[in-house]
Amino acid sequence: MPAPRSRWLAMPLALLLAASAPAAEAAPAKAKRPAAARQATVQDKAGKLQRLYADYWEAALKLNPLQATFQGEARYNDHLPNYLSAAFRQRSHELTAEWLGKVEAVGEEGLEGQDLLSYRIFVRNARDALEGERFPGWMLPVSPFNNPATLVAMLGSGASAQPFRTVADYDAWARRARDVPALFDQAIANMREGMAAGVVQPRPLMEKVLPQLDALIRPSAEETLFWAPVRNMPADFPEAERTRLDAEYRRLIETRLMPAYRRLRGFIATEYLPATRASAGLDALPGGAQWYAYNVRQSTTIDLPAERIHRMGQEQVKHIHGQIQALMKQARFRGSMPKFFRFMQQDARFRFADEAAQLARYQALQAQVEERMPRLFSLLPRTGLEIRPTEPYRAPSAPAGAYTPPGESGPGIFYVNTHDLPRRRTWEAEVLFLHEAIPGHHVQLALQQELHDLPAFRRYGGEAAFTEGWGLYAESLGEDLGLHEDAYSRFGRLQNELLRAIRLVVDTGLHSQGWTREQVIDYMTSNSAIGRDEAAAETERYLAMPGQALAYWIGMMKIAELRQRAQAALGERFDLRAFHAEVLKDGSVPLDVLEAKIDAWLDAQRDRAEQAPAPGAPGAKAGDPEAAEAAEAAQP
């Protein structure tokens, strides 16, 4: 996932002077050599680390070719690793441990700026990855939200990251797809180990997996999603190649892919589903309490106990309810809050006429928001945004909207779920677009991927609290972008904030306080404008990804807190465009790192204001635009 980059490694003036000093000035120059030598050592260290990061990333892509494909790197498009196997886990461990050792051997002493930031993020992420190996996530390889069967389908559909432009592309997918049966068989083996160890999924999750598989299993090659690349084969392919690929893909689909899908489906339906658990939370599994605490730290990048997050959520739900009650008065709605929630869910005025109308609404939002973005942002990505409907095979279990970052070429994609149209309400369109697309995930992640001076692990990595926190913060910018013109649209923003606050309550309730699935659904439907089916789908997401839902509110609150801090510190000198640039210009970072860099930016802003000469003072030259700008900035 181009911002201006600071040149932390610029050649120091002392070193330049020492290098060019004449022999007669040897004594003064000698006195400067220790500092210059230290600076040169730091430069050497920073350069060595950059090479290590590049070599690490190359090794990581070779180990995991799917990551390479999704970032637009085509060299490994014909490889499909058995990433669920014990051997792969061991290689991943060895790679992480090896490169962590190499980086730590260089050390951080003397580093500053981006070099120090990269070092600390790399070391932190590697240590966290090694710590996470003690939890048996590999025993839970399949859920509606993390399913190798749907991943393979996305790649083989011709509508995702796997390219199908040349004959070589088609041959690459054919070679990659040959290894799909081994991957699915490994998923089955891992789930069997999980059954023996008592580490299994909650039953409602696996009940949702079966329809996903059923949507992909077909009796003939031509009826499958995997036939789309053959149907859409470029017209300029030689006839002999077309005939060969047609026969090869038919054989591949009917003799390898479909049998593998049927085996996976049969195992889940007949063996795994009866072994699934009635309990909901991660803490019901062996070592689950520690596992959830680890997930919480990973998701939020801060050390908050689940009990404290639970109370924070309850406080925020109460606060937002007060704001909704004020909005009900503005809308002159008579009745209770639950009645207002039902009205917002059920009234026909909030429904889209059809799928085309739904997509047209989002396209109109894109045009409106993009026109006004320069008012709030000085940093904008060069990469464009494309709006697409969610693919039918994913739509029943997919969220209302989702974003896929761009690779090395091509746009970012905002997927709009057009399935079950009565569930899609007009008042949620604005906040969904702001969060998933612009100025939310697309702006943040596309900008991050355009930061070519950063190591690849930072360009393509990310912290959920930063990324999702930015997405939720972006929703608060709607009025500044000309949206939320009526009370119902403003309710859409409050409803989304309310849902994220509710997530603090229910995620921690599920995984640390013994809440049941039904308790979560009841809490959500009684405290927000969310229908029971939608609440059930949300609950299954929390079941499948413990702790992930905490990232949104925790990250948003930190960004909002830092904005308030900056406004208080700078007063009339506060520039929202500059604040947004400072938040985004280094890509995704842990929240404590974000806070430190915003505090450093504020110190620099205050120093600049204090050093700027007043108008008419010595040093303020008439007609000097820089001096005039500085003097203006210094005014209270």
**Model confidence pLDDT, tens digit, residues 577-595:** 999 999 999 999 999 999 9
pLDDT class of 122 with cuts at 50, 70, 90 = very high
Residue 71 vs residue 211, higher pLDDT: 211
Neighbouring CB atoms inside 10 A of 189's CB total: 15
How confident is the model at residue 34, as a pLDDT? 62
Residue listed under structure tokens 């399913």: 147
**Dihedral angle, C-alpha 620, 626, 628, 633, nearest 10 °:** -110
Of 31-35, 96-100, 187-191, 538-542, the poorest mean pLDDT is in 31-35
How confident is the model at residue 557, as a pLDDT? 96
Q: Are strands 412-416 and 385-389 parallel, antiparallel or unpaired?
A: parallel
Average pLDDT, integer, range 539-555 = 96
Backbone CA torsion sign across 224, 227, 232, 235: negative
**Dihedral angle, C-alpha 565, 566, 571, 572, nearest 10 °:** -150
Residue listed under structure tokens 């280094």: 586
Domain parsing of the chain, residue ranges: 13-63+85-137, 141-278, 291-555, 558-634
> How far is the C-alpha of 527 from the C-alpha of 337, rounded, in Å?
9
> How far is the C-alpha of 340 from the C-alpha of 328, rounded, in Å?
8
> How far is the C-alpha of 241 from the C-alpha of 223, rounded, in Å?
22
Phi, psi of 78 (to 5 degrees): -100, 5
How confident is the model at residue 240, as a pLDDT? 98
Q: Is 256 exposed, middle or buried (0-12, 13-18, 19+ CB in 10 A)?
A: middle
> How far is the C-alpha of 289 from the C-alpha of 283, rounded, in Å?
5
CB 450 within 8 A of CB 383: yes
Alpha-carbon distances, residue 324 vs 318, 337, 496 (angstroms):
10, 8, 12
Of 257-266, 280-289, 420-429, the poorest mean pLDDT is in 420-429
3-class DSSP state of 281: coil
CB 222 within 8 A of CB 174: no
Strand order in the sheet with 412-416: 385-389, 412-416, 401-404
Structure tokens at 181: 């049966």
Residues 6+ apart with CB under 8 A from 235: none
- Of residues 633, 636, 615, the one with CA closest to residue 624: 615
Alpha-carbon distances, residue 279 vs 195, 204, 511 (angstroms):
14, 10, 10
Give the length of the chain: 636
How confident is the model at residue 310, as a pLDDT? 98
At residue 122, what is the residue type? Answer: F
State the chain's mean pLDDT as an integer.
89
Backbone region of residue 351 per phi and psi (left: phi > 0; alpha: psi in -120 to 50; beta: other values): beta
CB 506 within 8 A of CB 281: no
Neighbouring CB atoms inside 10 A of 11's CB total: 12
pLDDT class of 39 with cuts at 50, 70, 90 = low
Helix (H) or strand (E) holding 64: none
CB 176 within 8 A of CB 170: no
Neighbouring CB atoms inside 10 A of 378's CB total: 15
> How far is the C-alpha of 566 from the C-alpha of 87, rounded, in Å?
50
Q: How confident is the model over 310-342, as pLDDT tens digits?
A: 999 999 999 999 999 999 999 999 999 999 999
Structure tokens at 580: 């947004």
For residue 13, is pLDDT > 80? no
3-class DSSP state of 155: helix
Helix (H) or strand (E) holding 387: strand 385-389
How confident is the model at residue 159, as a pLDDT? 87
For residue 146, is pLDDT > 60? yes
> How far is the C-alpha of 237 from the C-alpha of 34, rounded, in Å?
65
- Alpha helix ranges (H) inside 64-85: 65-70
Residue listed under structure tokens 């699915």: 184
pTM: predicted TM-score of the whole model, two decimal places: 0.84
Burial 592-630 (b: 16+ CB within 10 A, else e): ebbbebbeebbeebeeebeebeeeeeeeeeeeeeebeeb
3-class DSSP state of 143: strand
Q: How confident is the model over 449-471, as pLDDT tens digits?
A: 999 999 999 999 889 999 999 99
Which neighbouring-strand residues pair with 143?
146
Of 33-37, 276-280, 352-356, the poorest mean pLDDT is in 33-37
> How far is the C-alpha of 319 from the C-alpha of 314, rounded, in Å?
9
- How much is the CA Rg of the chain, to the nearest whole Å? 27
Average pLDDT, integer, range 357-377 = 97
Residue 514 vs residue 409, higher pLDDT: 514
CB 327 within 8 A of CB 491: yes
CB 121 within 8 A of CB 593: yes
Q: Please report, rounded to a whole number, the percentage of residues in the chain having pLDDT higher than 70.
A: 90
CA atoms within 13 A of residue 606's CA, in its CB half-sphere = 13
Alpha-carbon distances, residue 479 vs 157, 193, 382, 490 (angstroms):
39, 52, 24, 9
How confident is the model at residue 395, as a pLDDT? 84
Could you give the angle at the alpha carbon of 567 between the alpha carbons of 564 and 571, nearest 5°?
155
